[in-house]
Each structure stands twice: as structure tokens, then as C-alpha cells.
Amino acid sequence: MSGSKSKEDDGSSRPAVARITRSSRSTESRDSGPGQYGKQRKKQLHSALTQDLSQMSVSGQGSPTPSEGKQLGQRHDGPALGKCGGGLASVARRMKIGRCRNIVVVAGAGISTPSGIPDFRTPGTGLYANLEAFNIPYPEAIFNVDYFSNDPQPFFSLAKVLYPGSHRPNYIHFFIRMLHHKGLLLRMYTQNIDGLEKLCGIPDDKLVEGHGSFATASCHLCYTPYPSEEAKRAIMSGDIPTCTFCAATVKPDVVFFGEDLPQKYFLHTKDFPKADLLIIMGTSLQIEPFASLVNTVRATVPRLLLNRHPVGPFQRIPLRRGDHMELGDLENTVRKFAEMLGWHDDIVELMKSQEQQCIATVGGRSGTCSEESDSETDSKCSASSCPSN
């Protein structure tokens, strides 16, 4: 989220690849076409609030009917999917015998809905439905840099809802963290800006926050850095933070449509060819270039979709050999997956431990929840529960 961007690579040189901007298949004509608010921006490594949350309404709401699930859940070489067993059990077996040691996770807004972060498009309750009072030309305009420059208030009103701090990581986040502690996570690519991946303890070097985050802020015109806490205080109090250098409006460093993705995103050029398992969860695969990333793993690499609905290449019938789907409530599916792997108790213990630490920290002087160190968690993962080397 639904809402996260690392600055650690900002000073490094970009690999020899074409610049890539964020876009939506469904809004491409609005975001990159002509018109008052359709100009593309050339800003690099900065800001945007997103439709990674909008995809929640696609991947996080509703479920297929039994007949749809039967039709869409068929594989060309196996039983119907969408039920516990089938593809999920097949992938779990591969992991347990050590055939998946470099796992890449691609995640969208659906992984944060169990944390209480609302989606964008549900009629009446979605965040977009509550933007009508601002008379914006179309909902996605709230994430358009040119529109923001003209009227930042709609975005700031929405930012109050999305700012990290009001929500906690859920079981899905901790499952991904457990992948790291088992030594299996090559990288997580998230479309979310809610910061929950970091909050649950996934380290920076394992995380690519492709659509930025609220962790930093800068001027939307000259890109001069601005203290993120000062920006948050201003926005939460209804004020507009302004740049001390050029007096333009400051915004959190989340990637708006048409803006370049963070430098760290380009790690995909080496990660995806190296992956031996791709897990896709909680996404509609509507936002580019993330939607196309799932097609860049080697043809022999298994791909596992955990989602409400079939999306992207998983809508094809029959599925590609090695593709697996588990459709339904994402948190329940991930819990079943963890039980098959024998990780459920470790994840529950990790969640309890961090919650206790959070309570103790908030009761102390800092007022914020700190993350349990990797070494503390690793000590709780018994050798018997980890894959053999």
C-alpha cells in the first residue's frame, strides 16, 4: 500500500539500460499522452503514490465463482488448482528438498489488505471513491506530478491515510521475512509504499521498493532533499511543506506515474535470470514495468501465483509447464503454504516476539516499534526446520 523507497543507490551510476518509468496499462493514455496533466516527467529516483494500492481492488477483493475457479484453475499437466494441495504442495516439496535456493518474490497491494489498509477502487469504501470532493479530472490524476504541481491538496489528503505508522505487518509479510531467514530469499520486489516490508524486518539489501516510499521527501521540482519527519508533520497538520531552496512544494519520495523507477529496480537484470523460483502474490499485474518482470525468469523456472484471481500469464489456458496457481484469500493461502513447509510455528513465534518488542519500545522512550535483529530471529529458527545445505 498500500504502502515503500530506498535511497542507498542514489549516488551510483545507472546500468546501461534504457530509463524506465512507471505506467499503468489501464491509465497509460492518460498518464503519458498529451494534455494539461499528461506530460511525462524526467525526474529520476523520486516520488510517487500509487496504483499499487489500486490493484488491491483487483487482487484483494472478491473471489471467483466455483465454476470460474474450476475453469481457470486447470493445469495442462495436473489437477485443478485453487485448492490446498496441487501446485502449492508441489512447490513446497521442491523447496523442502532444496531445489529452490534463490527465490524472487513480486508483491503488490494485496499483501497489505490484511493489515487493514483499504484498497482504491471498491465502490463506496475505496480510497478513490472518497476523492470525488476534490473534483479531480480522473482518480489517477492524484498521482500525476503535473496535477500535483497545480494542486497538491488532494494528494496530501490521501497521504494522511497512507502514511506509515497506523498499520502493522501481517502474516504474509512475516512469511516473506522467514524466506530470508531460511536463506532462500534472493530479493523481494514490492509495488507497495506502506513500508510494512521493512517494518517486519526484511533487510534493505533484500528489498526493492520499486514505487518508492514515505521514508524520504524532496522538492518535486528541484529534488532538493527535505527532512521526512518535517514533511510528515506538515502534511498531517494540513500544511503544505515547501522547499527551502526554490519554494516549490515538497512531497514524499513515492513514484508518480511517468516518473523513473528507483535505481535499485535495475537489480532485476541479474536477479530474475538467477532465480530458481518466482512467487507472485497480491497483485493484478497491471502496473508496468512490474507486470512484465514475471516473464523474465528462465523458461524452466517454476512460477507460483498466490492471488484472488488469475492475472497476467496465469490467465492463459492451459498454463505454461511449471506455472502454479492458488486462488482465494491470500493470508489463508500463505498460512497453508507455511504449514506445508513446517514454518507456521516459527512465523507465529516471530510475530509474537516482534509485537512484544513493539509494546516494550512504545512504552519506552522511542515511541516507535523497532525491528528485531536478524540474529535474534535466526536463533529461534532451529536447524531442523531449515532446508538442508
Query: Among 31-45, 143-157, 167-181, 367-381, where is mean pLDDT lowest?
Result: 31-45
For the question of residue 211 being annotated catalytic, the response is: yes
Judged by average pLDDT, the poorest of 16-30, 130-144, 174-188, 232-246 is 16-30
Cell digits of residue 296: 523474465
The structural domains of the chain, ordered by start, are: 23-342 (3.40.50.1220)
Residue 268 in this model has a pLDDT that exceeds 90: yes
**Look-up: residue for cell 515503500?**
4
* Mean pLDDT of all residues in 297-320: 94
Residue 53 has pLDDT above 60, yes or no: no
pLDDT in tens, 304-313: 999 989 999 9
Which is the catalytic residue, given 211, 220, 309, 324? 211
Contacts of 375 (CB under 8 A, 6+ apart): none
Residue, of 257 and 342, whose pLDDT is higher: 342
Q: How confident is the model at residue 93 (pLDDT cuts 50, 70, 90)?
A: very high
| Between residues 135 and 185, the one the model is more confident about | 185
Question: One-letter amino acid identity for 336?
Answer: K
Lowest mean pLDDT among 15-29, 69-83, 215-229, 259-273: 69-83
Over residues 334-357, mean pLDDT: 94
CA distance 332 to 355: 21
User: Residue 241: is its pLDDT beyond 80?
Assistant: yes
DSSP string computed for 129-151: GGGGGGT-SSGGGGGBHHHHHH-
pLDDT tens-digit series, residues 176-191: 999 999 999 999 999 9
Tally the C-alpha atoms within 13 A of residue 295's C-alpha that lie toward its C-beta. Answer: 10
Tell whether pTM > 0.85: no
Taking the CA atoms of residue 343, residue 348, residue 354 and residue 360 in that order, the dihedral angle to the nearest 10 degrees is -150
pLDDT at 347 over 50: yes
Rounded CA separation 206/198 (Å): 10
CB 93 within 8 A of CB 342: no
Say what the pLDDT of residue 218 is: 94
Instruction: Please give the grid coordinates belonging to residue 207.
Output: 528489498
Helices 330-341 and 171-181, axial angle in degrees (round to 10) = 30
pLDDT of residue 166: 81
Residue 60 pLDDT: 38
What does the angle CA 152 – CA 153 – CA 158 come to, to the nearest 5 degrees?
105
Give strand pairing partners of 293: none
| Count of CA atoms in the C-beta half-sphere (13 A) of 371 | 16
